[in-house]
């Protein structure tokens, strides 16, 4: 597989070198069983992913539940010990680093979690939670930390007095703001946002998204923005990667992806976005047959071809597709079962 | 540092459960009383006024009889001293505690060894046992020993059980597997045989008994802590701490342990009750603390043997055990109720 070349989108200046580069990333979880709890099978949650994120860029990552997008995010922040491949951050492969060698990179790569009720320890005050990053990395004195905590809270639109309160005393949106404050505390360069708004009310979602955009501009952050909702990703991303069963099936600048989706799965996802106007000229909704196959026993060849409405022979299904750049910056998995008239792109 | 409002709510809830709350106050009262029991139940005088100077023999080294002009150099018998002073009428006086008997001393020296019924004139409020020792005194000091044992038991069971349970839950994998199998084997070792064997080789002291009982009791705590840790570890705040670069001890002690506090606190009273039962049972069987250490089990054993001729022994011991265990169980019930996660949950 060829790694996608760095491209620019949405007017960002081209970066000489991507901030984060993922090459052939594999995350296989052993499925244990038997008396001795030996690994019986492998659950291939992420199975060979190549991606990169440029400085100051937002990479959207979409796919349905269980496609491995959250696992991919966790691999980037080293919550998972990966099975194979490389994650290069700023020129260093961080997948093999030990605890102490990794620590400086912990400052640079942070994560925002899906459910802020879960990601904020209910036993600690907000002040404690926000001071923790500095304590862990041995930065600032106790007094400076208090000032910094107040600054962080104001930066995410909360009052400094929130520091004395506990997480459950806040609403979902406020809690997510606290989660964001914690993530930006150490001035990171990359933040993995793991469905940061999907647990929130629709009315609050846009506020949080705007906050993320503002912070990105202000702090020159890069985001990997994971979501199952294309509409959310469209709003915030420069480029979007569509994931299906542990693999990237389409990668394109956000506008291009919505204007000209090539992969059948992407088309199905886009057609599933709810229309704000009832009955207003929406395209035919595409309903996919069946469920996502299990990553424990993925089908041979092109996994999506088995669910696609595009006609393929059994022989063709068993052939894997090829991931190619069809137009500049637009990558797609080419296979008779995934892309209409795929021959013309070959 | 502000107390977590959820904790405040739990404490308020506990206080609103009157039965448990007053039981706790009573237990604390009993503990305080047992801790300063020497001031109330003791064969040493509280104050001795001898030739103008005051002595306080309750705490500190023993004072030989010669100090008070008596003709022996072993410890002063203050009850006799009091009578002597009174007869002399020379302005010397002795104030004795309410119950002037120590738990290990034989009253009625020189007379036949039979249990005596309660005798208010001689200040044997609950009578004496077969060896003419004051029962009230033995009850109170027996309670003190049982509570020292219970607190020691709880401390070590919690220390070992919590540590291992947390580590099993946190690290999982092979370590978890091996320790789990070990616990399964270990908990099948017959506890009583080990105690009998040890007791036949050495005279068991409080420390040895504590060590043996803890050795076989810590396993119970690991189950709860293991599952608790597994549950808490899977929550995102642990991941968030990891992403920040927090060390494993930091995650376990600052993030996971505080979230298991409900389990720890809820089990405390029940652990204490089981410790008291255990030491009483061992004493009853004769494998417990060496004689003449005051203990409830030993009193119970004596009481059952002399039930017909001296029913006051068994009644006293039995009532004391039942009352204390009921009080502690009431506290435990109230704590469990107050810490019920269904009432004050942090999940939404």
Distances (CA, A) of A156 to A159, A213, B248: 9, 12, 29
CB contact under 8 A, B6 and A166: yes
Tens-digit pLDDT profile for residues B103-133: 888 876 666 778 888 888 888 888 888 888 8
Does one domain contain both B57 and B22? no
Q: Is residue B81 part of a domain?
A: yes
Looking at chain B, which residue has its C-alpha nearest residue A73?
B243
Pairing mode of beta strands A84-89, A20-33: antiparallel
Mutate to test the interface with A, among B175, B236, B238, B254 (most CBs of A within 10 A): B236
Report chain A residues whose CB lies below 8 A from the CB of B177.
Answer: 37
Distances (CA, A) of A257 to A143, A224, A240, A266: 49, 17, 7, 8
CB contact under 8 A, A132 and B246: yes
The domain of A48 spans 20-122+166-276+283-345
User: How big is chain A by its Cα radius of gyration, in Å?
Assistant: 21
Report chain A residues whose CB lies below 8 A from the CB of B4.
Answer: 123, 166
**Geometric angle at alpha carbon A187, from A75 and A50, rounded to 5°:** 30
Residue A253: strand pairing partners? A239
- 3-state SS string over A292-327? CCCCCCCCCCCCHHHCCCCCCCHHHHCCCCEEEEEE
B90: exposed, middle or buried (Cβ count in 10 Å: 0-12, 13-18, 19+):
exposed
What pLDDT sits at residue A336? 80
Pairing mode of beta strands A190-194, A109-112: parallel
Q: Is residue B48 part of a domain?
A: yes
Tens-digit pLDDT profile for residues A72-123: 999 999 888 888 888 999 888 888 888 888 998 999 999 999 988 889 998 8
Write down the ipTM of this complex: 0.85
Report chain B residues whose CB lies below 8 A from the CB of A121.
Answer: 237, 241, 255, 258-259
Tens-digit pLDDT profile for residues B150-162: 999 999 999 999 9
Whether the ω angle into residue B88 lies within 30 degrees of 0, i.e. cis, is no
Of residues A340, A336, A323, A337, the one with CA closest to residue A250: A323
Does one domain contain both B87 and B165? no
Question: Among partner residues B5, B237, B254, which is closest to A166 by beta-carbon distance?
Answer: B5
CB contact under 8 A, A114 and B236: yes
Tens-digit pLDDT profile for residues A229-279: 888 888 889 999 999 888 898 999 999 998 888 888 888 888 888 777 666
What pLDDT sits at residue A226? 93
User: Are the C-beta atoms of residues B226 and A98 closer than 8 Å to each other?
Assistant: no
Does one domain contain both B15 and B74? no
- The CATH number assigned to the domain holding B177 equals 1.10.3720.10
What pLDDT sits at residue B129? 85
The alpha carbon of residue A147 and the mean position of all alpha carbons in its chain are separated, in whole angstroms, by 32
Does one domain contain both B57 and B174? no
CB contact under 8 A, B237 and A119: yes
What pLDDT sits at residue B276? 94
Q: How far is A111 from chain B (nearest CA, A)?
A: 7
**Mean pLDDT on A51-76:** 89
What pLDDT sits at residue A12? 45
Looking at chain B, which residue has its C-alpha nearest residue A188?
B244
User: Are the C-beta atoms of residues A15 and A21 closer than 8 Å to each other?
Assistant: no
CB contact under 8 A, B250 and A114: no
Cα–Cα dist B233/B148, whole Å: 35
Cα–Cα dist B287/B296, whole Å: 13
CB contact under 8 A, A119 and B240: yes
CB contact under 8 A, A121 and B348: no
> Three-class SS of residue B9?
helix
Does one domain contain both B74 and B177? no
Does one domain contain both B215 and B265? yes
Which of A4-14 are b and which e, b meaning 16 or more Cβ less than 10 Å from the residue's Cβ?
bebbbbeeeee
Report chain B residues whose CB lies below 8 A from the CB of A186.
Answer: 244
Pairing mode of beta strands A38-53, A20-33: antiparallel
Q: Is residue A236 part of a domain?
A: yes
Mutate to test the interface with A, among B232, B241, B245 (most CBs of A within 10 A): B245
Does one domain contain both B87 and B155? no
DSSP 8-class letter at A90: T
Q: How far is A196 from chain B (nearest CA, A)?
A: 13
Cα–Cα dist B46/B59, whole Å: 9
Q: Is residue A152 part of a domain?
A: no
Does one domain contain both B64 and B187? no
**Mean pLDDT on B321-335:** 94
Overall domain count for chain B:
2
CB contact under 8 A, B2 and A125: yes
Q: Please provide residue B44's backbone torsions phi and psi, each rounded to the nearest 5 degrees.
A: -90, 145
Pairing mode of beta strands A322-327, B93-95: unpaired
Does one domain contain both B67 and B202? no
pLDDT at A67 over 90: no
The domain of B87 spans 43-96
- The CATH number assigned to the domain holding A213 equals 3.40.50.300
* Half-sphere exposure for B296 (CA within 13 Å, toward CB): 27
Q: How far is A40 from chain B (nearest CA, A)?
A: 15
Q: Is residue A287 part of a domain?
A: yes
Residue A239: strand pairing partners? A59, A253
Helix residue spans in chain A (DSSP H):
69-76, 99-108, 116-119, 126-136, 142-155, 172-184, 202-219, 230-236, 254-259, 264-271, 314-317
Q: What is the mean pLDDT of chain A?
A: 85
Of residues B161, B150, B158, the one with CA closest to residue B187: B161
Sequence-separated (6 or more) residues with CB below 8 Å from residue A118: B235, B236, B237
Cα–Cα dist A68/A27, whole Å: 9
Q: How far is B7 from chain A (nearest CA, A)?
A: 9
> Three-class SS of residue B1?
coil
Q: Is residue A131 part of a domain?
A: no
Report chain A residues whose CB lies below 8 A from the CB of B243.
Answer: 77-79, 106, 109-111
pLDDT band at B344 (very low <50, low <70, confident <90, very high): low
- Packing angle, helices B261-285 and B296-305, rounded to 10: 40
Neighbour count for residue B246 (Cβ, 10 Å): 21
With an 8 Å Cβ cutoff, the interface of chain B facing chain A consists of 2, 4-6, 177, 235-237, 239-247, 250, 254-255, 258-259, 261, 346-348
Tens-digit pLDDT profile for residues A146-179: 999 999 999 999 999 989 898 888 998 999 999 9
Neighbour count for residue A138 (Cβ, 10 Å): 7
Cα–Cα dist B185/B162, whole Å: 19
CB contact under 8 A, B5 and A113: no
Question: Among partner residues A78, A115, A123, which is closest to B236 by beta-carbon distance?
Answer: A115
State the first-to-last Cα distance of chain B, in angstroms, to the nearest integer. 25
User: How big is chain B by its Cα radius of gyration, in Å?
Assistant: 26
Residue A272: strand pairing partners? none
With an 8 Å Cβ cutoff, the interface of chain A facing chain B consists of 37, 74, 77-79, 99, 102-103, 106-107, 109-111, 113-115, 117-125, 132-133, 136-137, 164, 166-169, 179, 182, 186
CB contact under 8 A, B259 and A123: yes
Q: Is residue A179 part of a domain?
A: yes
Range in A273-277, B102-106, B137-141, B215-219 the model is least confident about: A273-277
Q: Is residue A257 part of a domain?
A: yes
Torsion of CA B298, B299, B301, B307, to 10 degrees: 170
Of residues B168, B155, B154, B157, the one with CA closest to residue B229: B168
Encoding tokens for residue B263? 């389990």
User: Are the C-beta atoms of residues A303 and A318 closer than 8 Å to each other?
Assistant: no
Q: How far is B14 from chain A (nearest CA, A)?
A: 19
Q: How far is B237 from chain A (nearest CA, A)?
A: 4
Contacts 24+ apart (CB under 8 A), B308-315: B309/B114, B309/B115, B310/B115, B310/B117, B310/B127, B310/B129, B310/B130, B312/B115, B312/B117, B312/B118, B312/B126, B312/B127, B312/B135, B313/B115, B313/B127, B313/B129, B313/B130, B313/B135
Report chain B residues whose CB lies below 8 A from the CB of A117.
Answer: 346-348
CB contact under 8 A, A79 and B242: yes
Q: What is the mean pLDDT of chain B?
A: 88
| Full DSSP string of A176-228 | HHHHHHHHHTT--SEEEEESTTTTS-HHHHHHHHHHHHHHHHHHT-EEEEEES
Helix residue spans in B38-172 (DSSP H):
78-88, 135-171
Looking at chain A, which residue has its C-alpha nearest residue B247?
A136
Cα–Cα dist A132/A145, whole Å: 9
Overall domain count for chain A:
1
User: Are the C-beta atoms of residues A345 and A334 closer than 8 Å to each other?
Assistant: yes
* Half-sphere exposure for B63 (CA within 13 Å, toward CB): 22
Answer with the residue of higher pLDDT: B251 or A9.
Answer: B251
Question: Among partner residues A78, A113, A168, which is closest to B240 by beta-carbon distance?
Answer: A113
Of residues B55, B96, B101, B108, the one with CA closest to residue B69: B55
Report chain A residues whose CB lies below 8 A from the CB of B250.
Answer: 136
What pLDDT sits at residue A154? 93
Residue A327: strand pairing partners? A330
Report chain A residues whose CB lies below 8 A from the CB of B254.
Answer: 124
Question: Among partner residues B177, B237, B245, which is closest to A120 by beta-carbon distance?
Answer: B237
pLDDT at B180 over 90: yes
Encoding tokens for residue A160? 């400094």
Q: Is residue A143 part of a domain?
A: no
What pLDDT sits at residue A3? 44
Percent of chain A whose pLDDT exceeds 90: 33
Mutate to test the interface with B, among A36, A97, A113, A123 (most CBs of B within 10 A): A123
Pairing mode of beta strands A330-334, A322-327: antiparallel
Does one domain contain both B88 and B150? no
Q: Is residue A310 part of a domain?
A: yes
Helix residue spans in B204-260 (DSSP H):
206-233, 236-244, 248-250
The alpha carbon of residue A295 and the mean position of all alpha carbons in its chain are separated, in whole angstroms, by 19
Q: Is residue B145 part of a domain?
A: yes
What pLDDT sits at residue A146? 92
What pLDDT sits at residue A168? 87
Q: What is the pTM of this model?
A: 0.82
Percent of chain B whose pLDDT exceeds 90: 47
Report chain A residues whose CB lies below 8 A from the CB of B343.
Answer: none
Mutate to test the interface with A, among B237, B250, B348 (most CBs of A within 10 A): B237
Residue entry with tokens 């049972």: B281
pLDDT band at B347 (very low <50, low <70, confident <90, very high): very low
């Amino acid at each position: 597989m060829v790694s996608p070349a760095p491209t620019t989108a949405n007017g960002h200046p081209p970066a000489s070198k991507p901030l984060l580069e993922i090459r052939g990333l594999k995350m296989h979880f052993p499925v244990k069983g038997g008396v001795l709890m030996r690994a019986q099978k492998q659950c291939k949650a992420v199975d060979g992913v190549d991606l990169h994120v440029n400085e100051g860029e937002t990479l959207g990552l979409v796919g349905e539940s269980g496609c491995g997008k959250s696992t991919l995010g966790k691999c980037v922040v080293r919550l998972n010990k990966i099975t194979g491949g490389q994650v290069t951050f700023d020129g260093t492969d961080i997948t093999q680093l030990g605890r102490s060698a990794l620590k400086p990179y912990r400052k640079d790569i942070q994560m925002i979690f899906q459910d802020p009720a879960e990601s904020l320890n209910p036993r600690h005050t907000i002040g404690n939670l926000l001071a923790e990053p500095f304590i862990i990395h041995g930065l600032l004195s106790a007094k400076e930390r208090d000032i910094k905590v107040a600054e962080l809270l104001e930066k995410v639109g909360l009052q400094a007095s929130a520091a004395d309160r506990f997480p459950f005393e806040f609403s979902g949106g406020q809690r997510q703001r606290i989660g964001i404050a914690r993530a930006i505390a150490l001035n990171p360069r990359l933040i993995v946002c793991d469905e940061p708004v999907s647990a929130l009310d629709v009315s609050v979602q846009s506020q949080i998204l705007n906050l993320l955009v503002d912070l990105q501009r202000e702090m020159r952050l890069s985001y990997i923005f994971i979501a199952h909702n294309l509409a959310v990703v469209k709003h915030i991303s420069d480029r979007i990667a569509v994931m299906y069963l542990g693999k990237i099936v389409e990668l394109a600048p956000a506008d291009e992806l919505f204007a000209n989706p090539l992969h059948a799965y992407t088309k199905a996802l886009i057609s599933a976005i709810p229309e704000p106007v009832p009955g207003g000229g929406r395209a035919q909704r595409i309903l996919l047959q069946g469920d996502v196959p299990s990553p424990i026993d993925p089908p041979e060849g092109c996994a999506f071809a088995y669910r696609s409405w595009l006609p393929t022979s059994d022989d063709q299904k068993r052939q894997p597709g090829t991931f190619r750049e069809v137009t500049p910056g637009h990558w797609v998995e080419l296979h008779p079962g995934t892309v209409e008239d795929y021959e013309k792109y070959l | 540092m502000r107390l977590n409002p959820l904790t405040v709510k739990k404490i308020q809830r506990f206080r609103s459960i009157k039965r448990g709350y007053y039981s706790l106050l009573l237990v604390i009262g009993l503990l305080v009383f047992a801790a300063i029991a020497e001031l109330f139940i003791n064969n040493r005088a509280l104050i001795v006024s001898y030739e103008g100077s005051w002595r306080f023999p309750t705490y500190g080294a023993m004072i030989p009889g010669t100090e008070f002009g008596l003709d022996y150099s072993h410890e002063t018998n203050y009850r006799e001293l009091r009578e002597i002073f009174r007869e002399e009428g020379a302005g010397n006086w002795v104030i004795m505690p309410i119950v002037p008997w120590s738990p290990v001393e034989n009253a009625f020296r020189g007379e036949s060894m039979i249990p005596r019924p309660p005798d208010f004139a001689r200040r044997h409020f609950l009578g004496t046992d077969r060896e003419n020792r004051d029962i009230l005194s033995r009850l109170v000091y027996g309670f003190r020993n049982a509570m020292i044992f219970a607190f020691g038991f709880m401390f070590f069971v919690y220390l070992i059980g919590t540590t291992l349970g947390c580590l099993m839950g946190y690290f999982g994998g092979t370590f978890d597997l091996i320790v789990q199998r070990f616990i399964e084997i270990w908990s099948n070792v017959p506890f009583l045989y080990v105690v009998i064997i040890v007791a036949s080789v050495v005279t068991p002291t409080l420390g040895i008994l504590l060590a043996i009982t803890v050795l076989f009791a810590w396993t119970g705590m690991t189950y709860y802590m293991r599952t608790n840790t597994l549950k808490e570890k899977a929550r995102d705040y642990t991941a968030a701490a990891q992403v920040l670069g927090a060390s494993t001890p930091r995650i376990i002690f600052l993030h996971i342990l505080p979230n298991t506090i409900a389990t720890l606190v809820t089990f405390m009273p029940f652990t204490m009750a089981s410790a008291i039962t255990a030491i009483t049972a061992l004493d009853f069987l004769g494998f417990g603390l060496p004689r003449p250490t005051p203990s409830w089990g030993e009193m119970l054993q004596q009481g059952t043997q002399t039930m017909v001729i001296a029913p006051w022994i068994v009644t006293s011991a039995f009532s004391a055990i039942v009352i204390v265990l009921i009080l502690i169980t009431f506290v435990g019930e109230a704590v469990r109720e107050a810490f019920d996660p269904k009432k004050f949950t942090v999940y939404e």
